[in-house]
Each structure stands twice: as C-alpha cells, then as structure tokens.
Structure 1
Amino acid sequence: MTLQRIYLLLLLLLLALLLPSYGQDRMYQRFLRQHVDPEGAGGSDGYCNLMMQRRKMTSHQCKRVNTFIHENIWNIRSICSTVNIQCKNGRMNCHEGVVKVTDCKETGSSRIPNCRYRAMTSTRRIVIACEGDPAVPVHFDK
C-alpha cells in the first residue's frame, strides 16, 4: 500500500470519528441556546417574550412552548449521569432531574414577529436526552 493511500485512509478514519461529535456539539449548542438561562429568574410574560425573541425562536414562526432551565450548566449536565429512562420517541437516552424552570407558552393570538407568551415559573421534574462521552444534554424531552 502506498504512503498516499495510508494517509487517505487515516484521514477518512479521523473524519469518521469527528463527524458524530460535530453533530452532537451542534445539538448541545442548540440545547444551550433554547433551554439554558442560569442567570435569569424568569417568571414574567415579559421575560418569555424577550427571551424567545433573543434566542431566535420567533424568527420563522412562534414556537408554541419552550422551557428555560435556571440552573448552571454543570447541574444540568449532572442529570445526564442519572439512570437512563425512555424518551417520548422510544429511545433509552433520557434522564430526569428536578430543576428551577420557566415554561413559556404562546398565547395563541400572536403573530410573528410579535410572538406573545405566558410564563409559569416552578421547580419541577424535567426529562432531557443526553448523548456522547462525556454525556451532554442534546434535547429537552418534557
């Protein structure tokens, strides 16, 4: 086998190893953008209206429901180390924990770009999907 072919095979192997982590990283970054606000107190309709717009969830349509988690990312990531449970889609990569959240629900009468939301803040059980090694949250399940 020529040296050029060996380099090509090594490059393909490296790409095969990196591509899944790139997709996982994108999903992790999206999870952070859509669901994590450790500094926010939440609680008001104005908070939801502002955050949904800032986090780009009202650009093409009004996202009907979204949950912001008010915990630091290390607390959220620690949920990934709890026992696996079944996700809504049937996969077994979900985990549950209790955190402070603000649930934002679209009022039903708003139109883009002026989406309007109702806020409800609580401490409750959430379920997130995690992937990777180390496992990181990539999807808010419920």
Structure 2
Amino acid sequence: MALKSLVLFSLMVLVLLVLAGARPSWPKFENDHMDPGNGPFSPNYCNKEMENRNISGKLFNTFVHQPVEAVQAVCLEPNITCKNGQNNCHKSRSPMSITECIREKGPSDYNTINKRRHIVIACEGNPLLPVHYDGSEEVSSEAR
C-alpha cells in the first residue's frame, strides 16, 4: 500500500512539474514590464526600478503604465508578426503610457524616456497572457 501511494505521489509531482513548465511566463513579464503607476517619471525612475526588480544590466527595458487588465486585453487584438518572425504578437488599439530605460554607462545608469505609444507584445497560453514585450509604435498623427 505504501509503495502504491509513493508511486501515485511521484506521478502527481511529475504532472505538476510538467504543467508548471508549460505555463506562460506572465509573472516574469509583469516583473520586467508592468508598473501601473502614473507618470511621467523622474530621471532617476529607471535606475531605481531596474535595481528594485533585479533586472539592472539589461541594455534596454520598457515599463508599461496601464492597468494589468488593459495590457492583458492587448492579447485579444489580431495577431501580427513579431520581430523574431513568430505570429503571436498583438498591437494595442490605443496608445499607452510607457517609460523606456536605456542603459548609458554602467549597469545601473539608465536614461529615462516617457512616451505614449502603441505597445506590441507576444502572448501565449490559454487564456492568452503577455510573455514578451516586442516593442512599441508611434501614435499616428490622425490619432493624436
């Protein structure tokens, strides 16, 4: 009886590990790119956020300043081709407030640039969730 329980427990753990590995990386996307706070942000914003989120050292990063639900809803927009050629990207219908962080000199020396742009994100899973920030596009002059 104990052997049967051990085998069932081992199988259950294996299934859970497989399922966990197949889940989209929404928590990573949320950590790396989501900040629903209101901007514009000070010149030190990127230095502070990149350090606090343990992602300093990246050459470039973007934070999106919209509610989580609004960013997740972008996954419901029509599919477009990502920069890497995959067809799982989606472009926001409306411009969103973003902050681009561009590394200048050292690993914690970022230039902070506040913008309003359409975001492009890759989405995966069921339900679809953002897993990669692919870039942004300028707001066309007639939409301003």
Both structures adopt the same fold (TM-score exceeding 0.5): yes
Q: Match of 1:100?
A: 97
Task: Pick from 120, 126, 142 the counterpart of residue 119 of structure 2.
Answer: 126
CA distance in structure 1 between the aligned counterparts of 2:40 and 2:99, rounded to whole angstroms: 6
Contact 1:38 1:72 in 2 (8 A): yes
Q: TM-score, normalised by structure 2?
A: 0.77
Contact 1:100 1:123 in 2 (8 A): yes
In the TM superposition, residue 86 of structure 1 has moved relative to its aligned partner by: 0.5
> Unpaired runs of 5+ in structure 1?
none
Q: Match of 2:46?
A: 48
CA distance in structure 2 between the aligned counterparts of 1:90 and 1:103, rounded to whole angstroms: 23
Task: Pick from 66, 75, 78 the counterpart of residue 80 of structure 1.
Answer: 75
Q: TM-score, normalised by structure 1?
A: 0.78
Deviations for 1:46-79, whole angstroms, at most 9, x for unmatched residues?
Answer: 1111000001012xxx211100000010000000
CA distance in structure 1 between the aligned counterparts of 2:19 and 2:87, rounded to whole angstroms: 18
Aligned Cα root-mean-square deviation (Å): 2.1
- The answer to whether 1:68 aligns with 2:63 is yes
Letter of the structure 1 residue corresponding to residue 35 of structure 2: D
Percentage of matched positions with identical amino acids: 36
Q: Describe the SS at the equivalent of 2:79.
A: coil
- The answer to whether 1:24 aligns with 2:23 is yes
Considering Cα pairs closer than 8 Å and 6+ residues apart, tell me whether 1 or 2 has the greater RCO.
Answer: 1
